[in-house]
Amino acid sequence: MTKILIFGAGGVGSIYALILWRAGCEVTAVCRSNYHEISSNGITVRSKKWGTCLTPTNAVRSAEEAVQYGPYDYILVCSKAFPNTAKLLNPAVGPDTTIVLAQNGIGIEAEYAVVYPNNTIVSGVVYLPTTQVEPGVIEHGTPLERFEIGTFPAHADASSKDKVNALVELFRMGDATCVPYDDIQAQRWYKLALNAAFNPITALTLCDDANFLRSSEGALEVVKDVMREVGKVATAYGYGSVLSEETIAEQTARHEERMTTGGKEPSMLVDVRHERPVEVEAILGNVVRLAKVNGVKVPFLSMLYTLTKARNFAIVKDGGWKPIARVD
Ligand SMILES: NC(=O)c1ccc[n+]([C@@H]2O[C@H](COP(=O)([O-])OP(=O)(O)OC[C@H]3O[C@@H](n4cnc5c(N)ncnc54)[C@H](OP(=O)(O)O)[C@@H]3O)[C@@H](O)[C@H]2O)c1
pLDDT band at 136 (very low <50, low <70, confident <90, very high): very high
Assess contact for 32 and 61: CB atoms under 8 A: yes
Integer CA distances (angstroms), 122 to 46, 68, 75, 147, 212, in order: 28, 24, 10, 12, 35
pLDDT at 50: 96
pLDDT at 81: 98
Query: Each residue of 178-209: pLDDT tens digit?
Result: 999 999 999 999 999 999 999 999 999 999 99
- Pocket test of ligand 1: the residue of 32, 33, 88 to mutate, having most ligand atoms within 8 Å of its CB, is 32
pLDDT higher than 90, residue 248: yes
Q: Whose CA is nearest to atom 1 of ligand 1?
A: 130
Assess contact for 176 and 144: CB atoms under 8 A: no
Q: Do 3-183 and 186-316 come out as alike in CATH topology? A: no
Across 221-237, average pLDDT: 98
Q: Whose CA is nearest to atom 47 of ligand 1?
A: 104
Query: Each residue of 170-184: pLDDT tens digit?
Result: 999 999 999 999 999
Q: For the chain, what are the domain ranges?
A: 3-183, 186-316
Amino acid letter, 300: F
CB within 6 Å of ligand 1 — which residues? 8-13, 30-34, 78-81, 88, 102-104, 126, 128-130, 132, 267, 279
The CATH number corresponding to 3-183 among 1.10.10.60, 2.40.160.20, 3.40.50.11400, 3.40.50.720 equals 3.40.50.720
Q: Which fold has domain 186-316?
A: N-(1-d-carboxylethyl)-l-norvaline Dehydrogenase; domain 2 (1.10.1040)
pLDDT at 154: 97
Atom nearest to 127 CA in ligand 1: 6
Integer CA distances (angstroms), 174 to 150, 168, 169, 178, 312, in order: 19, 10, 9, 10, 37
CA–CA gap between residue 87 and residue 19 (Å, rounded): 26
DSSP-based three-state secondary structure for 47: strand
pLDDT at 296: 98
In the chain, the percentage of residues whose pLDDT exceeds 70 is 100
Q: Whose CA is nearest to atom 36 of ligand 1?
A: 8
DSSP characters over 194-210: HHHHHHHHHHHH---HH
Closest of 37, 15, 36 to residue 27, by C-alpha: 15
Cα of 117 from ligand 1 centre, angstroms: 25
Q: Name beta bridge partners: 173.
A: none
Integer CA distances (angstroms), 208 to 216, 221, 277, in order: 14, 16, 18
Query: Each residue of 73-85: pLDDT tens digit?
Result: 999 999 999 999 9
Integer CA distances (angstroms), 282 to 247, 285, 305, 316, 321, in order: 22, 6, 11, 17, 22
By CB atoms closer than 10 A (0-12, 13-18, 19+), residue 124 is buried
